[in-house]
């Protein structure tokens, strides 16, 4: 059941259904005494987590990184289509409004990373930030966990890749420029639309499209390799903007680009369709028909490589348009490679003790 509009103002999801692992489903309803009017709006709550590990690894052949760090669980940007939403269900929370209002900050992230980097068994590969939730969502201004991670990577000359929808990344341009001088960083700004009103509906608390494009330009001017992610592509909603987004991003200095077709795993399908019925009732049926045509008639297919771009005539058309546009602009002609040979392990207590023993 959708949550009343005023209670979720500035949020992406329309409801807050119980997670799939909960033994009982909970739902708010009016008991006839107008009691719903007494409920408070969804406010952002931050919970602190002392994580036990911080580097996540994967061996997926369609993902361009082997290890990643997410210093936050949940994301206040509220993107309705966010593929990370179902992860909140593992915490006993909802993939809906809870995901964007009940956030977890891993305050010991930098400490754990320093321990990992100091292990003799550690093998240097790019660490990706922003693979699940945005490292520059609004609460980063308070906790600065992403900045702490970048300071450590800068000190140890460790390569890092960043994906974000926030112009707040410019706060760390000093560290990023330092990393860039050693070919140790690249950044991708996700730009889903050039229409500010549409962006507000899809991703209500992310930076405006213009601010993201400005961020691309300023990062590029500082010598930081920056690309653009046209992700996700929503059929009959933002698919007509692919070429325009690439053109504006290229003009701002982006030289690499990628796209992802809308993905609706698990709870996201119901959340997205609920949002679609409220925001675009006139085309909801067409959106889902086109999307299902790329997933073999289903809402989602998890097969490697297929899950990112889909199959079928519509999916092939999107891919062809993207390739033609990037080729015309000269984007993706060369891929920027990060160095791994400059890494210097942090000198923690364990390392110093080992040196003392060997002496």
User: Over its length of 359 residues, how does the chain's per-residue pLDDT go in tens digits?
Assistant: 578 667 888 899 999 988 777 776 556 555 554 444 555 788 999 999 999 999 999 988 888 899 999 999 999 999 999 999 999 999 999 999 999 999 999 999 999 999 999 999 999 999 999 999 999 999 999 999 999 999 999 999 999 999 999 999 999 999 999 999 999 999 999 999 999 999 999 999 999 999 999 999 999 999 999 999 999 999 999 999 999 999 999 999 999 999 999 999 999 999 999 999 999 999 999 999 999 999 999 999 999 889 999 999 999 999 999 999 999 999 999 999 999 999 999 986 444 444 444 44
Whose CA is closest to 130, among 77, 91, 173?
77
Q: From the CB of residue 213, how many other CB atoms can be counted at a distance below 10 Å? A: 23
Nearest Cα to 73, choosing from 58, 290, 57, 93? 93
Can you read off the two tokens belonging to residue 222?
């500082």
| Tokens representing residue 189 in the block | 């700004």
What CA–CA distance (Å, rounded) separates 58 from 161? 15
If you ran DSSP here, which 8-state letter would residue 203 be given?
S
The strand order across the sheet containing 45-49 reads: 45-49, 102-106, 72-73
Rounded CA-CA distance 132/69 in Å is: 9
Report how far apart, in Å, the C-alpha atoms of 228 and of each of 129, 177, 231, 279 are: 15, 18, 9, 26
Kindly write down the DSSP assignment for every residue of 151-164, as one continuous string: HHHHHHT--EEEEE
Backbone angles phi, psi at 186, to 5 degrees: -145, 150
CATH T-level topology, domain 46-332: TIM Barrel (3.20.20)
CB atoms closer than 10 angstroms to residue 343: 17
Q: Would you state the structure tokens that stand for residue 88, as one six-digit string?
A: 């909140």
**Residue position matching structure tokens 């900045």:** 147
Whole-structure pTM value:
0.91
């Amino acid at each position: 059941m959708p949550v009343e509009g005023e209670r979720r103002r500035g949020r992406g999801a329309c409801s807050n259904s119980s997670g799939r692992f909960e033994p009982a489903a909970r739902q708010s309803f009016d008991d006839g005494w107008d009691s719903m009017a007494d409920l408070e709006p969804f406010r952002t709550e931050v919970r602190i987590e002392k994580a036990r590990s911080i580097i996540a690894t994967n061996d997926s052949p369609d993902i361009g990184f082997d290890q990643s760090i997410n210093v936050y669980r949940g994301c206040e940007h509220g993107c309705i289509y966010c593929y990370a939403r179902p992860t909140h269900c593992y915490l006993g929370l909802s993939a809906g409004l809870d995901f964007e209002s009940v956030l977890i900050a891993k305050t010991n992230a930098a400490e754990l990373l320093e321990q990992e980097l100091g292990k003799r068994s550690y093998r240097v590969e790019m660490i990706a930030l922003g693979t699940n939730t945005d490292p520059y969502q609004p609460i980063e201004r308070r906790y600065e966990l992403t900045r702490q991670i970048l300071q450590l990577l800068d000190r140890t000359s460790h390569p890092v890749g960043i994906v974000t929808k926030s112009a707040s990344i410019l706060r760390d341009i000093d560290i990023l420029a330092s990393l860039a001088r050693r070919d140790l960083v690249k950044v991708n700004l996700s730009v889903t639309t050039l229409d500010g009103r549409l962006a507000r509906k899809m991703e209500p608390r992310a930076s405006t499209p213009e601010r993201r494009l400005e961020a691309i330009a300023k990062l590029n001017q500082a010598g930081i390799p920056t690309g653009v992610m046209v992700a996700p592509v929503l059929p009959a909603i933002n698919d007509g903007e692919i070429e325009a987004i690439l053109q504006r991003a290229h003009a701002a200095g982006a030289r690499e680009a990628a796209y992802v077709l809308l993905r609706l795993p698990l709870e996201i399908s119901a959340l997205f369709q609920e949002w679609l019925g409220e925001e675009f009732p006139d085309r909801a049926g067409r959106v889902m028909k086109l999307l299902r045509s790329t997933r073999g008639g289903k809402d989602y297919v998890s097969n490697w490589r297929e899950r990112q771009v889909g199959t079928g005539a519509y999916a092939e058309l999107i891919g062809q348009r993207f390739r033609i546009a990037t080729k015309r602009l000269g984007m993706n002609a060369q891929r920027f490679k990060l160095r791994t040979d400059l890494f210097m392990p942090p000198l923690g207590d364990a390392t110093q003790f080992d040196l003392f023993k060997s002496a």
